[in-house]
């Protein structure tokens, strides 16, 4: 099977799977509560993927991703409520604004040594939050922003549409990252994590690539926030605090830094865990950091580290189903096409 055929079949498979899920959701075979949890999970995974790009793949620890989520969410809300943008463009606008923030923040901070970068990104996350509180015209101030237009006012179709859009976005993000990371540009980014000085000596413009990765990472984080605004309908600055940034970090670490499959699994798993443990109330807040500590001490490479950091590959699956073994190029890749 030629490469083109493989890619085509893979894309088709993914599309069919998503359509299948959406039908289940529309028919309420998957009930509304589960749909809601899955939608939130999808958003969490998207943002965590953004974080994984800069922290797991580029090796630059960023502790302010909730800030990008906030920028995306509030921009989208503002575009819809103040400028009457249609939803699709508002979401893109939110993500783009977040990318711009990422670019501007990255310029001074990505020159810094790793430890300091983490603190500064934390600082920026907090600064964004404080700024949001202090712009009541745009953000509704500390009381929050209500009445954000949702995907559709039709009660029947609303959960279906949210679910569909979020998972479509997720599939696109995964495809984008997977293709990027397998390419020479992606490998250059990963080499920065491995050894910055050697990467520089091998002709890689380290600073440019860091900014590149950080901006994309901010775009993706903002995209998650942008999708969240119309879904949830209500935004408050305290939703986007350091605690939230750490939640995304936990997802990335648990799944495996530098592994896309792991982020997807851990994101869905942790979102479910959050729901499941709701009855524990405040004790929940003690369990998350405990998970983080235990993972870091005993299995720092995360869940997928147990599987030698392999990625789930749709094209690999297609090959196996069509009778041939994986080609050399497929198995040599660290990041494959992931569902």
Partner 1 sequence: MDYLQQFCQQTLNGMSLGSIYALLALGYTMVYGIVKLINFAHGDILMVGAFVSYFFLRRWGITPVTLMLSFLPAMLFCLTLGVLIEKICYKPLRDQPRINTLITAIGVSFFLENGARVIPGIGPNPRVFPTLSAVNYTLFGVNISQVQILVFIVAIILMVLLNYIVSFTKIGKAMRAVSFDKGAAYLMGINVDRVISFTFVLGSSLAAAAGILFASSYPQIEPYMGTMPGMKAFIAAVLGGIGSIPGAVLGGFILGVAETLAKGFLSSQLSDAIAFGLLIIILVVKPSGLLGKPMGEKV
Partner 2 sequence: MTVLETENISIQFGGLMAVSNLSMELKKGELIGLIGPNGAGKTTVFNMLTGVYKPTAGKITVCDHNDERKEIGKLHPYQITALGMARTFQNIRLFKNLTVLDNVRIANHLNVQYHSLQAVLRLPSYYQEEKQITEQSMELLRIFNIEHKSEELAKNLPYGEQRKLEIVRALATKPHILLLDEPAAGMNPQETLDLMDLIRHIRDRFDLSILLIEHDMKLVMGICERILVLDYGRLIARGTPAEIAHDPMVIKAYLGKELENDA
The one among 163, 214, 288, 312 contacting partner 1 by CB under 8 A? 288
- 253: tokens are 């670490």
For the CB of residue 301, give the shortest distance to partner 1 in the complex, in Å.
10
The one among 58, 60, 162, 191 contacting partner 2 by CB under 8 A? 191
For the CB of residue 315, give the shortest distance to partner 2 in the complex, in Å.
11
Cα–Cα distances in angstroms (integers) from residue 168 to residues 21, 42, 70, 150, in the given order: 11, 10, 21, 17
Q: Strand, helix or coil at 111?
A: coil
Place of tokens 């189903």: 321
Site stretch for partner 2 (CB under 8 A), options 88-96, 199-207, 264-272, 314-322: 199-207
Our CA angle for 248, 252, 254, nearest 5°, is 110
For the CB of residue 110, give the shortest distance to partner 1 in the complex, in Å.
11
Q: Does 113 bind partner 1 (CB under 8 A)?
A: yes
CA dihedral 264, 48, 27, 149 (to 10 degrees): -170
Site string for partner 1, 173-212 (x = CB under 8 A): ------------------------x---------------
Cα–Cα distances in angstroms (integers) from residue 228 to residues 165, 171, 265, 334, in the given order: 11, 16, 20, 30
Q: Does 286 bind partner 1 (CB under 8 A)?
A: yes
Q: Does 112 bind partner 1 (CB under 8 A)?
A: yes
Let me know: does 11 contact 17? Beta carbons within 8 Å. Answer: no
Interatomic CA distance for residues 316 and 319, integer angstroms: 5
Q: Does 328 bind partner 1 (CB under 8 A)?
A: no
Q: Strand, helix or coil at 149?
A: coil
Site string for partner 2, 313-332 (x = CB under 8 A): ---------------xx-xx
> Residue 238 binds what, of partner 2, partner 1, none (CB under 5 to 8 Å, by partner type)?
none
> Residue 82 binds what, of partner 2, partner 1, none (CB under 5 to 8 Å, by partner type)?
none
Q: Strand, helix or coil at 145?
A: strand
Interatomic CA distance for residues 50 and 116, integer angstroms: 20
> Residue 190 binds what, of partner 1, partner 2, none (CB under 5 to 8 Å, by partner type)?
partner 2
Q: Does 108 bind partner 1 (CB under 8 A)?
A: yes
Buried residues in 131-142 as b, exposed as e (16+ CB within 10 A):
bbbeeeeebbee
Interatomic CA distance for residues 119 and 64, integer angstroms: 9
- Using CB under 8 A as the criterion, which residues of the chain lie in contact with partner 2 when the complex forms? 3, 7, 176, 179-180, 182-188, 190-191, 194-195, 197-206, 212, 328-329, 331-332, 334
- Using CB under 8 A as the criterion, which residues of the chain lie in contact with partner 1 when the complex forms? 55, 59, 61, 63, 108-109, 111-116, 118-120, 122-123, 126-127, 130, 134, 197, 243, 246, 249, 253, 282-283, 285-286, 288-290, 292-293, 296-297, 300
């Amino acid at each position: 099977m030629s490469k083109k055929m493989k890619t085509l079949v893979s894309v088709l498979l993914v599309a069919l799977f998503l359509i299948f899920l959406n039908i289940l959701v529309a028919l309420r075979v998957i009930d509304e509560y589960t749909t809601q949890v899955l939608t939130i999970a999808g958003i969490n995974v998207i943002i965590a993927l953004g974080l994984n790009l800069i922290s797991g793949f580029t090796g630059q620890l960023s502790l302010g991703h909730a800030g990008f989520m906030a920028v995306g969410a509030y921009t989208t809300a503002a575009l819809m409520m103040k400028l009457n943008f249609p939803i699709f463009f508002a979401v893109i606008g939110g993500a783009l604004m977040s990318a711009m923030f990422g670019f501007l923040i990255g310029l001074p901070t990505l020159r810094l040594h790793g430890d300091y970068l983490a603190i500064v990104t934390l600082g920026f996350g907090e600064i964004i939050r404080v700024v949001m509180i202090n712009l009541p015209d745009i953000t509704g101030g500390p009381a929050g922003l209500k009445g954000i237009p949702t995907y559709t006012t039709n009660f029947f179709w609303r959960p279906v549409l949210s679910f569909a859009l979020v998972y479509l976005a997720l599939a696109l993000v995964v495809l984008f990252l997977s293709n990027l990371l397998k390419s020479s540009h992606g490998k250059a980014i990963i080499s920065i994590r491995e050894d910055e000085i050697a990467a520089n000596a091998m002709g890689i413009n380290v600073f440019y690539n860091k900014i590149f990765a950080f901006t994309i990472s901010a775009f993706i984080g903002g995209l998650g926030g942008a999708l969240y605004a119309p879904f949830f309908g209500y935004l408050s600055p305290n939703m986007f605090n350091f605690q939230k940034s750490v939640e995304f970090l936990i997802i990335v670490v648990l799944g495996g830094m530098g592994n896309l499959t792991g982020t997807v699994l851990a994101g869905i798993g942790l979102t479910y865990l959050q729901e499941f443990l709701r009855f524990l109330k405040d004790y929940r807040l003690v369990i998350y950091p405990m998970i983080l500590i235990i993972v870091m001490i005993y299995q720092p490479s995360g869940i997928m580290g147990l599987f030698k950091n392999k990625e789930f590959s749709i094209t690999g699956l297609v090959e196996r189903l069509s009778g041939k073994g994986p080609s050399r190029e497929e198995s040599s890749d660290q990041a494959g096409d992931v569902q």
